[in-house]
Amino acid sequence: MDNQPGTLALHPPIRFVDVGVHRLEYVDIPGHQVQRPPLVFLHEGLGSVSMWREFPATIARATGCRTIVYSRYGFGRSTRRLAPYTPRFMHEEALELFPTLRAALDIVGPVLVGHSTGASMALIHAGAPGSDVAGVVAMAPLTFVEPFNLDSIRRAKTLYATTDLRAKLARHHDDVDGVFFGWNDIWLHPEFASWSIRDDLAGIRCPILAILGDDDEYSTSAQIDVIAQHATEAASFDYLKLADCRHSPQRDQPATVTDAIVRFVDSLPQPQESL
């Protein structure tokens, strides 16, 4: 199948896979080193395959790992979302939809590279009973709701109405209004105020690398503190804080983030060593 608009030439062609009743777009970059875990990229609340730009391909080349990038239901060129979000939408993705995608694409023992809400989903999935996740890279993770989050999300709604933000996002999504307002409305819904992943973190056994920019407009160090306090059974926990970096470390500090992910993957036990 030919590349779709917005797809990077560095990536293999966009593919589609049926996951339940949904058709999801994805990219699957073959690994070029043996005995390396597959990497799966989980995008942010307004993200998609194309919004990752060249970053997954860069990581694939640097690590030698098979690398899978997908757009969640409702995002990018995947099936448009019909059902409204619930306060448990991240848990629904991490515990119900993502395992089905993994089965469809035969993804075993992955390292999950998540950004923002994608990082939250990665942590939730890694904390599920019986998880085989080899490691989690959590960039700008969100672990609970704090006023700082909500203030930024309210500002984003104004930007969407008054700037070219909508036009920029429309390059990446078939249903741009559904993507934006689905994300914006659920975060500002009163029932979402008590959302957190504290209990999920307690189940994580694999290593965690958390990455946060000093100038992140959505996530704060308090979000990282929750991981340190509750993921006490994780094999290891490392925290990389980046100066001159906002909510997208992979864009603001790509070389530093790439190096950190390569070191993290290199530090993991090889599959034969974990038997």
Would you state the structure tokens that stand for residue 128, as one six-digit string? 């599920």
Q: What is the mean pLDDT of each run of 10 residues along the chain (275 residues)?
A: 40 87 96 94 98 96 97 97 94 97 97 98 98 98 96 96 97 98 97 97 98 96 98 98 97 97 94 48
Q: How far apart are CA 176 and CA 211, in angstroms?
A: 28
Q: Decide: 12 and 27 in contact? Cβ < 8 Å.
A: yes
Of 249, 89, 51, which Cα lies nearest the Cα of 183? 89
Q: How far apart are CA 68 and CA 38, in angstroms?
A: 8
Q: Decide: 145 and 222 in contact? Cβ < 8 Å.
A: no
pLDDT number for residue 9? 40
Q: How far apart are CA 31 and CA 118, in angstroms?
A: 22
Q: How far apart are CA 101 and CA 70, in angstroms?
A: 9
pLDDT number for residue 270? 76
pLDDT number for residue 10? 52
**Helix (H) or strand (E) run with residue 138 in it:** strand 135-139
pLDDT number for residue 4? 41
15-268 folds as Rossmann fold (3.40.50)
Would you state the structure tokens that stand for residue 81, as one six-digit string? 């979302």
Q: Decide: 38 and 31 in contact? Cβ < 8 Å.
A: yes
Q: Vertex 211, ends 125 and 241: CA angle to 5°? A: 155
Map out the domains of the chain as residue ranges.
15-268
